[in-house]
Amino acid sequence: MKDRTTRFLNLLALLVTVLVAGGCAREEPVSFRQAVKPVLDQYCVECHQEGGVGYETAGLDLTTYATLMRGARNGPMVIPGDSMGSNLVVLMEGRADPSIRMPHQSREKVSQAQINKIRLWIDQGANDN
């Protein structure tokens, strides 16, 4: 009986270990070029490039990884590892002030699925990949 109990406990410990290890598996890396840049190109770059209204107003150029990471006149747009504090996400979600939600006014909004992908990219370190 004792052997059975020991085997059962060992099996249970193994099962718990496998489940915990599986739950800790990392998400696949999100690619800036394949997942983030296309969203910025579709929704943001029209205004946030040299000569655009968003560039003139905020000094924010979203045409390249380097200019995104440089940020705007008033500070960074992306804080690697901190999607909740990154202004790029704050503005896309309208958490700062709905009147300055990006994109502005009647323009098509970025979907929550796309924002979640950008969040994950930021939380993974906002790499130039």
| pTM over 0.85, yes/no | no
Is the pLDDT reported for residue 41 higher than 60? yes
> How much is the pLDDT for 5?
57
| In the chain, where the domains are located | 32-123
pLDDT above 70 covers what percent of the chain? 81
Distance CA 12, CA 22 (A): 15
Name the nearest CA neighbour of 125 among 80, 78, 77: 80
> How much is the pLDDT for 4?
65
Mean pLDDT over residues 16-40, rounded?
Answer: 75
- pLDDT per residue over 47-100, tens digit each? 999 999 999 999 999 999 999 999 999 999 999 999 999 999 999 999 998 888
